[in-house]
Each structure stands twice: as C-alpha cells, then as structure tokens.
Amino acid sequence: MEPQPDAAPAASPEAPIYRQLCERIAALIHAGALHRGDRLPSVRHMAQQQGVSLSTVLQAYRELETQRLVEARPRSGYFVAALPPPPPRRRPTLALAVPEITQPPAESQAVGVTQLVERVMGAAQDPSIVSFGAACPGGDLFPTDKLRRAMARAMQRHQASLARYPFTPGVAPLREAVARRALGMGCSLDPAQILVTNGCLESISLCLRAVTQPGDVVALESPTYFGLLQILESLHLRALEIPTHPRTGLSLPALELALDTQPVKALLTVPTLSNPLGATMPLTARRALVQLARARSLPIIEDVLYNELHERAECRRALKSFDTTGQVMLCGSFSKTLAPGLRLGWVEAGRWSAQVRRLKGALSGGHTELIEHAMTEALNQPGLEQALRQLRATIGHRIQQARRLIGASFPPGTRVTSPEGGFILWLELPAGLCAVELFEAALRENICIAPGPMFSTSQRYDHCVRLGLGRGWGPAEQQALQRVGELARRMLQRARPMVGDEALPRAA
C-alpha cells in the first residue's frame, strides 16, 4: 500500500462544523478548483447541500472573508478573491496495520453472472423491445441541446487537441470542474489527484486492481449491481455479500463480523441510492463505516454515481467527506445525471492515487481530449443545478406512478422499494414465482426486465426483479409494466392451483 501524496491539511473531525466547512472550501481555492472571481453557492444552497444551518454557512463564509479568500458583493453573494500564497503542506498520517484475522468459513463465492447479464442486456438494447432491463437514463431526461452546444464550443476552442496524443490523468479544466462538483458531496478534492477514466466502472476496476490480487475476497452489498460482479469475475476475485437493508443500506454489524472471520481485502460500496435496492446509508452510519475502515486498514471503494439524484441534499454527502487518512477511493461519472454518451468517469484514489494512475496509463492510457473539453463545457454551463432539480422531480414522479401501477397489476404480496431518488425499483415477488421464467415470458411479448439472479453470486434473489425506469415513460411503457404484472399473476395462478372457481384477488 502506498502512502497518499502530500496534501493540504484537513479540518479535525472534532473542529466546529463551520470551521470544517471553511477549511474544505479553502482547500478547493488553494488547489485551484475554485478560481478568482468564481461565485460560491448561495448561503441557502450550501446549507441544504451540507445539511447545516444558514448561520453555520454564514460563519464559514465570514471566516473565509477574514482570511481574504473570498469577498462579499452586495446583492450578488460571495466570490473567490485574489489568492494568497498556498498554505504549508504536511505529510499524512499512515493507516493502522491490518489486524490478524482468523481463517474464515468458505462463505465467499466465485462470480459467474456474465451469461445471464449478456442475454438481458442484449434484449435491453433492442429498439423493438420495451425495456425495463437496463438502469440507463434516456435522452428525454437530459438537455440535449445544451450538450450539443457544449460539443460545438469544444470543437471550436480545442480542435488542435485532435492532433495530440492524449495522456493521463485528463485535462486540468475537467478535473477542476469535478472537484467543484464534489463540494456538493462534502468533499474537498485536490484536482491534481483526480484521474479521468472511461466511466465509473473503469474507475472501480482500477481501484480493485490497486488493492487486491486474484483470489482475494471483496465485500459488497447484497444484492448488488451486476456490473460490479462482472468486474470481480474478470479479476478473479471472490464476492462476499453483506446483508443490506432496502432503506438504510449495508449492515455495519454484519460487515464487522465478516471482517472478524474472513480475509476481506476491500469493501466496494454504494452508500447513496445503491443499485438495485436504492438504499441510502444514514450519515451516522457513514461516519462509523469510515472509522471502522480506518481502524481495520480496510480500503473502501465508494461509488457515487447516483449521489446527485438523491432528493435530499444532506444524503448526497459521500463517505469520502469523513475520510482523513485517504482510506476511501472515490469513483464517479456523469452518465446518470448529465451525459451518458460521453462515457467519462473519474476517481480520487486517496492513498492509492499514484498506483491507480500508473495502472490507468498501462491499461488504457488517456482519452480524446476533445470529449473531456466538451464535458467541461457542459459542467460549466449555467443552469446545471436547475436541470438537476428538474431531473430529480421528473424521475420522482415516474417512480411514484410505477409503484401505483405495480400495486394495481402485480400479484398480492409483491413488495416494492420506495427509494428517495434514482430511477430503479426492486420487486420481491410472492413465493412460487421465478424471476427468470417471468423474464422469459415477458421477452416473448417484447418486454425486457432484469431478473434477480443477475445481482448476486447465489440464487437467493430468484424471486426478485429490478425495473429500470430511465428510458421513456409513455403509454407504451406503462402498458408494458401492467402486462408484466398480468403475466406474473398468471404464473402464480399456475403455481398455486385455485380452489373451485375462486381466482386470485387483485392487488390493493
């Protein structure tokens, strides 16, 4: 394990909240992620983002004024002022040694989900099929005109980049824009330590390569996103699934027990709107998880792909915001919130930043700079926050409509998650229903769903289904969802013979 490069000092977790916020913003200014003249978020917006009071934000901003880092402009807000010399840098505290672990029982599993995943994803991409199989947002959810203009500006301003061979870690303006967006997750990231990748999955894969060897055990939520299982399968890693609550996420007592009994080398987690459950870990549990990881020297790979889709600003806060030793490796992209087609992700790998950067250079090198500049233009366009609010409202309404349709159409006893954001629902079907058989029946009618066994190394979710509602939501999709419910009712009737002429009652 490599130590984290020298970094600007971070506020102590015991410091007053306003001081912690002040030092996070100051670190962004000193790192160059916030430039002279940039407008800071309004006091009200920052309070909502960070889950603190207006007075706390105001006190932090006034402290920054005292330090001559920002200046207040009447009726306009707070802006970054001229920069003083950067603060002194310190060496980070090294992580604690890994405690001895007893020989675990053979409870981790080799991964083998690719065949089913390929079949489902193949159907999900067929334009003749109404698809709930993929968790991909459709073009109707995004400001495509703004993206087109961003691409055009990038071509005008940076066409010379087409004649240059790109190298890692990515163009500086994009990394600075990522650092600014990360402030909304409570994180103060140094743009120099951010690495641009080919999507969030590559970020996660690089992090796993940095901290594991083939045959190692990786802990993760259960159920979990099949793409994460495919990465483990490709790297010959074993998956240890941890019990997960549909609302509050990963069970910390279960994880601690696993750490006591099995040789877990890393934790791969999605604390905000996990896929497929849509679970969100409370902030107190996030802080406790980071403390546990620090005490056990457990690398945490945190996927923040869905954070900006959460309805509540305080729940967008990342595990990384509680990390003071570089134990958390932060992975994200904008494929669910802004531009799926650009396929750009990023990673800030903490203590393993140098190693992850070397792996990236060796395995896939740099990207097309023009695309990176286009993403930068898109991130810097005015109105992004308004577009995100509209996106959250649209998918929230869609999720509620879908839950009502499921209640009316699916068999009695069907259980459905109620996530606070995102466009995924997880269904637990009544006993006697097989999710793969329901997938086959729906596919014969040109409808695609994602059966539960895709999301686990075992068959424990063979009666569950994930529905992705990111693609269109018109009459055809609503009728298709009702039809899946009707198919499920018929299958259950065959599995449970009726008594006399009585039929199954409709769901309430």
Residue 506: per-residue pLDDT: 40
* Residue 177 CB-density burial (10 A; 0-12 exposed, 13-18 middle, 19+ buried): buried
With bands split at pLDDT 50, 70 and 90, how would you rate the model's confidence at 9?
very low
Residue 297: per-residue pLDDT: 95
pLDDT at 12 over 60: no
With bands split at pLDDT 50, 70 and 90, how would you rate the model's confidence at 83?
low
Angle between helices 283-296 and 252-261 (to 10 degrees): 10
* Domain boundaries along the sequence of the chain: 17-80, 114-135+386-495, 144-381
- Which DSSP helix (H) or strand (E) runs through 359? helix 353-363
Q: pLDDT tens for residues 298-312?
A: 999 999 999 999 988
Mean pLDDT of 176-196: 94
With bands split at pLDDT 50, 70 and 90, how would you rate the model's confidence at 156?
confident
Residue 279: per-residue pLDDT: 93
User: Helix and strand tally (H, E) in the chain?
Assistant: 15, 16
Write the class of the CATH domain 114-135+386-495.
alpha beta
Mean pLDDT of 259-264: 93
With bands split at pLDDT 50, 70 and 90, how would you rate the model's confidence at 137?
confident
Mean pLDDT of 181-197: 94
Alpha-carbon span 293 to 269, nearest angstrom: 12
Identity at 328, one-letter amino acid code: V
Q: pLDDT tens for residues 89-103?
A: 443 433 322 222 212
CA 180 to each of CA 176, 198, 283, 315, 436: distance values in angstroms, whole numbers, following the listed order: 6, 20, 21, 18, 43
Q: What is the token pair recorded at 368?
A: 């097309």
Alpha-carbon span 351 to 437, nearest angstrom: 46
Residue 84: per-residue pLDDT: 52
Alpha-carbon span 469 to 473, nearest angstrom: 7
Q: CATH assignment of 17-80?
A: 1.10.10.10
Residue 13: per-residue pLDDT: 54
Residue 113: per-residue pLDDT: 66
Mean pLDDT of 53-63: 84
| Lowest mean pLDDT, pick from 8-22, 188-202, 318-332, 334-348 | 8-22
Residue 2: per-residue pLDDT: 37
With bands split at pLDDT 50, 70 and 90, how would you rate the model's confidence at 262?
very high
Backbone angles phi, psi at 5, to 5 degrees: -60, 160
Following DSSP, what letter does each residue of 101-131 receive, concatenated? -PPPPS--B----HHHHHHHHHHHT-TTSEE
Residue 110: per-residue pLDDT: 63
Residue 163: per-residue pLDDT: 64
Q: Choose between 82 and 323: higher pLDDT.
A: 323
Residue 95: per-residue pLDDT: 34
pLDDT at 326 over 60: yes
pTM of the model: 0.80
List all residues 6 or more positions away from 462 whose beta carbon is below 8 Å from its beta carbon: 434, 435, 436, 451, 452, 453
Give strand ranges (E) for 54-194. Answer: 70-73, 77-80, 130-131
Residue 337: per-residue pLDDT: 87
CB atoms inside a 10 Å sphere around CB 380: 14
Q: pLDDT tens for residues 343-371?
A: 899 999 999 999 999 999 998 888 788 88
Mean pLDDT of 277-284: 94
Mean pLDDT of 139-158: 80
Mean pLDDT of the chain: 84
Residue 498: per-residue pLDDT: 47
Q: pLDDT tens for residues 109-128?
A: 666 666 888 888 888 888 89
Q: pLDDT tens for residues 396-435?
A: 989 999 999 999 999 988 999 999 999 999 999 998 899 9
Residue 308: per-residue pLDDT: 94
Mean pLDDT of 2-30: 65
Which residues face 78 on adjacent strands? 72
With bands split at pLDDT 50, 70 and 90, how would you rate the model's confidence at 444?
very high
- Percentage of the residues of the chain whose pLDDT score is greater than 70: 87
Kindly indicate whether the domain formed by 144-381 is annotated with CATH number 3.40.190.10: no
Residue 16: per-residue pLDDT: 79
